[in-house]
Amino acid sequence: MKRRPLLIGAGLAAAAVGAGLALRSGRALSPEAEKFWAAKFVHLDGSELPAAILRGKPLLLNFWASWCTPCVKELPDIERFAKETPAWQVLALALDSAENVQAFLTRLPLHLPLGLAGLTGFELARMLGNLQGGLPFSVAFDARGEVFWRKLGPTELPELRQIART
């Protein structure tokens, strides 16, 4: 009987500590990050690709199109980054049709994760900070899911490596 109040007190103290830690680490994401994580895209095979499945590790998100020369130039560096940085996830979102992307991949085979966002991808890119609507556009999310880096224009491997170290 004497142990019961002690156990209840210890349980309440542990719950309070746990709640405090959860509140401290559970800050709400920015509205743009929330909208991204709620978005759904399409794999090249037509299956659904929910952004939420990528959450939990840092993510490099690249918006590109097969007709965009700077995009095509940077894709090999993005693919190399994906291969050499397993702690990161990478998603190259094509603002293009499945047919154009499939034809493009016959000329430049890529093995990094690809998704299709179509023309609605321009709206998503704009919401994430691409106010000019240009391509390529890249965004980095931390493991919590918040945007911490954006770039309009082509990226290069040394720059991506530097971002991964932050």
The order of strands in the sheet holding 137-141 is 48-50, 40-42, 114-116, 89-94, 59-64, 137-141, 147-152
Percent of the chain with pLDDT over 70: 84
**Quick one: pLDDT at residue 26?**
63
What confidence category does residue 118 fall into, taking pLDDT thresholds of 50, 70 and 90?
confident
- SS3 percent helix, strand, coil of the chain, rounded to 5, is 45, 20, 35
Query: Domains of the chain: which residue ranges?
Result: 31-165
Average pLDDT over residues 143-155: 98
**Quick one: pLDDT at residue 27?**
80
d(CA 19, CA 12): 10
Summarised one tens digit per residue, pLDDT across range 55-80 is: 999 999 999 999 999 999 999 999 99
d(CA 69, CA 76): 13
Q: For the whole prediction, is pTM greater than 0.85?
A: no
Fold annotation for 31-165:
Glutaredoxin (3.40.30)
pLDDT greater than 50 at residue 18: no
Q: What is the mean pLDDT of the chain?
A: 87
